[in-house]
Amino acid sequence: MSFHTIEYSAGMVSPNSNNQLALGNVQSGAAASHGIFTYDGGIPMLFFVPFNDPNRYEYKQKIISHGGIITDTEPNESTGNRIILLSSFNIRGQLCFKLSFIDDSIKNNGVCDLSNYKYQIPEVYDPSSVSGQNKVIKINSEGDGADQNDAAAFSNVLSRNVRPPPMRTSRRFTDLKDEYILKQIRLNPRLRNSHKFFDGLALHDVLKGHTGNSIRSRYRNHLESRLAYVYKTDEDGVLIKSADGKNIRDSLENLPKTLKNRFTALEDFNLCTELIEYSRLKYYEDLESGAVDKDEDGKPKPFDLYQEFTAPVSFFAMMAKNYPSHSYHSWRDRYRKFVRQYGAQKYIDDYNRSIQNGETPEQMKNFTGKKAGLTRGFKELIGSSYNDNYRALPSNENAGDDGAIDEKIKQIRSSNYANAAENAGEHEIQEGEGESNNDIESVIESQSQAESQPQGKGGSLLDSQSTSQMWSDFDIKYLPEGITLEHLLNKNFFKISPNEISTRVETILNDIELAAPAVLLKSFNEIGINDVFTAHLIMAATGDIVNMQVFIDQFLHLIPHLSEDKLYDGLQIEDTDGIWTSKLDNYLLSGSKQDMKKLQAIQSPQSIEARRHFLEKFS
DNA sequence: GAGCACACCCACACACCAC
DNA sequence: GGTGGTGTGTGGGTGTGCT
């Protein structure tokens, strides 16, 4: 039932000249056929009880069960319609009435004179007191007769933003007080962490003399373990009563969630993945309709996984619907203050890496507040450390230095060379007792001897005579200058995470069926690698599947940092053994001592020898 | 010195508002 | 409707002084 659906006229409840409510046409007494808190015609009276009021839920029940309505909207005189503000205590100088109005009206079976329940003189601490003693300031809701500064002080104390100076009037908590606090928590389990709730409790007679902070601290440090049970409430925190009108005990296992829920790592992950998925779909829609931005050459810009994503309202509405643990506003705020700062794909990478390392992923944090202010340009810092994070290896969680990628290369070489050797000359490995499968040199040795190894599992795609013949029809060559990302990759590439690309490449290269060019090209196409790039891979890696894997991993590492115009230069990898460029080929072909010296500083003798054979066959 | 009461801090969830 | 700015106050503490 929504009060918004009811038309209220100002005349039903309107302020008179004394700022008091006129209730002349309020239905009252036994004549009330629709309940006690109704106007003529049975239209319910509107009440507002502050959300932090410790008695809100108790009185919400009373009001609703006697025909009235509790609104979620605070009274607003400017609208002309009046909602009656009820509270356990006087607040912020507003026109405010005591909750006993409800009790007395119910007892009376008719609406009492509301003006008799108006708060007049709140008691408030005076910050100007030099002695540090409490001083009672008399202030009424209109501020008449009261100093404006006092009114401001009153407002400040209640608003929590300005606290009185330290004043320690320590009072011991008694069993009675402790039990009272626990009872209030049981009645309001959703508010068990709320500062304001405890501020409200501090105004209860039983707890007079303690501050809200003190009571909150008492509960958190001493009483929480004694809570034992709470009373059952609905999603809004309203007490659920049994058939005989009693509160229902509920175990702590069913504690309702508090007012605010921290975002978890999984929720951050879901937000990032949904955001990227949404953006990717949008990109391809735009691509089809020609709405994608063009580069200098007039070609559509490729989808950038590491871009700053934007999302419309509908996206956050979808998130709130599919992941109701947070509201639309919360999801949107999380995106604005965290995802945008951190980077969606960067977080996904970090999350996946944590999972792979057997660690618990952490949620995004430290992107708001004062600390965030101190780290201006933090995004740039993240950007610069991206490489380290991206390159860190599961087996080396501290890897973040330049050795990480080398370590990865080593691992790939170890496993693949071992495979190659296993397939090429199993007996050599078996006979070499005490020889490690990871002994690269010896494995290279065995590989080089295995001219007739089966294709597809390790070694070169082009080693044997028959497969060389098959590849001879395929145009193996370096990428030309001026290539774009679109030349290299198709849309499938952007649907797969970088980690997965690497794994898929490894799987494809290890597949024994891939000796045939068409199969390899098709498989690479399926993960987004176009033929021209496959040709370059084979050319740069001398057709060696290990080196192809190394090239791909280096490419995946480089790609987030390469602008379109630097793509060609960026792919000239000249510092990795087994990876070749036309410049290095020229060194080899020139035969000059100086060039060979340069070459030997990069390439191993095995690589140089293999390259020589390769160029003889295919150049 | 220990325990307690209380003040205070900080990150950030959630919300509202203006443009 | 989309977006940025910003306020409020929750959630989870730590620091400090009193008993």
Q: CA-to-C1' distance for A372 and C3, Å?
A: 21
Mean of pLDDT values over A490-500: 72
For residue A361, give the DSSP letter: P
Per DSSP bridges, beta strands A14-15 and A46-48 are: unpaired
Q: Which tokens in the block code for residue A405?
A: 């990628």
Cβ atoms of A547 and A539 closer than 8 Å: no
Ranges A260-264, A337-341, A381-385, A460-464: which has the least confidence: A381-385
Instruction: Please state, as a whole number, how many other Cβ atoms lie within 10 Å of the Cβ of residue A448.
Output: 13
Cβ atoms of A523 and A514 closer than 8 Å: yes
Q: CA-to-C1' distance for A609 and B4, Å?
A: 79
CA A158 from centroid of its chain's CA atoms: 33
Question: What burial class does residue A474 get, using C-beta atoms within 10 Å of its C-beta: 0-12 exposed, 13-18 middle, 19+ buried?
Answer: middle
Domains of chain A by start residue, with CATH? 38-117 (3.40.50.10190), 175-254 (1.10.10.60), 269-369 (1.10.10.60), 471-618 (no CATH)
The region that residue A366 occupies, defined by phi over 0 for left and psi between -120 and 50 for alpha, beta otherwise, is left
**Which residues, listed in sequence order, are joined to residue A432 by a DSSP beta bridge?**
none
Q: Which nucleotides of B are covered by protein (CB under 7 A)?
A: 4-8, 10-16
Kindly state the percentage of chain A with pLDDT values over 90: 1
Mean of pLDDT values over A91-118: 74
- Rounded CA-CA distance A121/A151 in Å is 12
Ranges A83-97, A191-205, A522-536, A540-554: which has the least confidence: A83-97
Query: How would you list the strands of the sheet with A46-48, edge to edge?
Result: A69-70, A46-48, A84-87, A97-98
Backbone angles phi, psi at A227, to 5 degrees: -65, -45
* pLDDT score at A186: 92
* pLDDT score at A460: 66
Cβ atoms of A585 and A615 closer than 8 Å: yes
Nucleotide nearest to A191 (CA to C1'): C10
* pLDDT score at A123: 34
* pLDDT score at A118: 72
- Rounded CA-CA distance A508/A523 in Å is 7
Nucleotide nearest to A260 (CA to C1'): B13
Nucleotide nearest to A216 (CA to C1'): B6
Query: Is residue A415 helix, strand or coil?
Result: helix
Between A22 and A507, name the one with better pLDDT: A507
- Rounded CA-CA distance A316/A327 in Å is 9
**Which residues, listed in sequence order, are joined to residue A47 by a DSSP beta bridge?**
A70, A84
Nucleotide nearest to A170 (CA to C1'): B5
Q: Is the CB of A213 under 7 A from strand C?
A: yes
pLDDT above 70 (res A141):
no
Q: Which tokens in the block code for residue A148?
A: 């404006």
pLDDT above 50 (res A150):
no
**Which of A180-184, A368-372, A431-435, A497-501 reaches the highest mean pLDDT?**
A180-184
- Rounded CA-CA distance A504/A115 in Å is 77
Q: From A432, A420, A373, A563, select the one nearest A485 (Cα to Cα).
A: A563
Between A600 and A91, name the one with better pLDDT: A600
- Rounded CA-CA distance A308/A473 in Å is 43
Torsion angle, alpha carbons of A53, A59, A61, A62, to 10: 180
Give me chain A's average pLDDT, please: 65
pLDDT above 80 (res A317):
yes
For residue A11, give the DSSP letter: T
- Rounded CA-CA distance A547/A447 in Å is 14
Question: What burial class does residue A219 get, using C-beta atoms within 10 Å of its C-beta: 0-12 exposed, 13-18 middle, 19+ buried?
Answer: buried
Ranges A155-159, A198-202, A544-548, A605-609: which has the least confidence: A155-159
Q: From A254, A216, A221, A204, select the one nearest A88 (Cα to Cα).
A: A204
CA A401 from centroid of its chain's CA atoms: 27
* pLDDT score at A3: 30
Strand C-proximal residues of A, range 324-343, CB below 7 A, are 333, 336
pLDDT above 70 (res A318):
yes
Nucleotide nearest to A329 (CA to C1'): B14
Per DSSP bridges, beta strands A14-15 and A21-22 are: antiparallel
Residues in chain A: 619
Q: CA-to-C1' distance for A305 and C10, Å?
A: 35
CB-to-strand B contacts below 7 angstroms = A 163-173, 209-211, 213-215, 217-218, 221-222, 259-263, 326-330, 333-334, 337-338, 365-372
* Type of residue at A111: V
pLDDT, tens digit, 9 for 90 and up, residues A401-442: 333 333 333 333 333 323 322 332 333 223 333 333 333 233
Q: CA-to-C1' distance for A168 and B6, Å?
A: 7
Per DSSP bridges, beta strands A84-87 and A229-231 are: unpaired
Using alpha carbons only, how large is chain A's radius of gyration in Å?
37
Structural element, H or E, at residue A332: helix A328-334
For residue A601, give the DSSP letter: T
How big is the CA angle at A32 (ends A28 and A36), to the nearest 5 degrees? 65
Residue nearest to nucleotide B13 (CA to C1'): A260
Q: CA-to-C1' distance for A196 and C18, Å?
A: 25
Q: Is the CB of A194 under 7 A from strand C?
A: yes
Q: From A409, A435, A450, select the one nearest A555 (Cα to Cα).
A: A409
Structural element, H or E, at residue A85: strand A84-87
Mean of pLDDT values over A322-348: 86
Three-state secondary structure of A101-168: HHHHHHHHCCCCCHHHHECCCCCCCCCCCCCCCCCCCCCCCCCCCCCHHHHHHHHHHHHCCCCCCCCC
Nucleotide nearest to A211 (CA to C1'): B6
Q: From A360, A361, A342, A339, select the one nearest A351 (Cα to Cα).
A: A361
Mean of pLDDT values over A305-324: 85
- Rounded CA-CA distance A275/A259 in Å is 26
Find where tokens 């230095």 sit.
A401
For residue A304, give the DSSP letter: -
Nucleotide nearest to A212 (CA to C1'): B6
Confidence of residue A67 (pLDDT cuts 50, 70, 90): confident
Q: CA-to-C1' distance for A312 and C1, Å?
A: 8
Residue nearest to nucleotide B14 (CA to C1'): A330
Instruction: Please state, as a whole number, how many other Cβ atoms lie within 10 Å of the Cβ of residue A607.
Output: 22
Cβ atoms of A109 and A36 closer than 8 Å: yes
Q: CA-to-C1' distance for A202 and B5, Å?
A: 14
Cβ atoms of A48 and A73 closer than 8 Å: yes
End-to-end CA distance of chain A: give it in Å, rounded. Answer: 81
pLDDT, tens digit, 9 for 90 and up, residues A236-277: 778 888 898 888 998 888 888 888 888 888 888 889 988 888
**Which of A283-292, A313-322, A546-555 reaches the highest mean pLDDT?**
A313-322
Q: CA-to-C1' distance for A468 and B15, Å?
A: 68
Ranges A69-83, A272-286, A454-468, A533-547: which has the least confidence: A454-468
Ranges A21-35, A94-108, A206-220, A549-563: which has the least confidence: A21-35
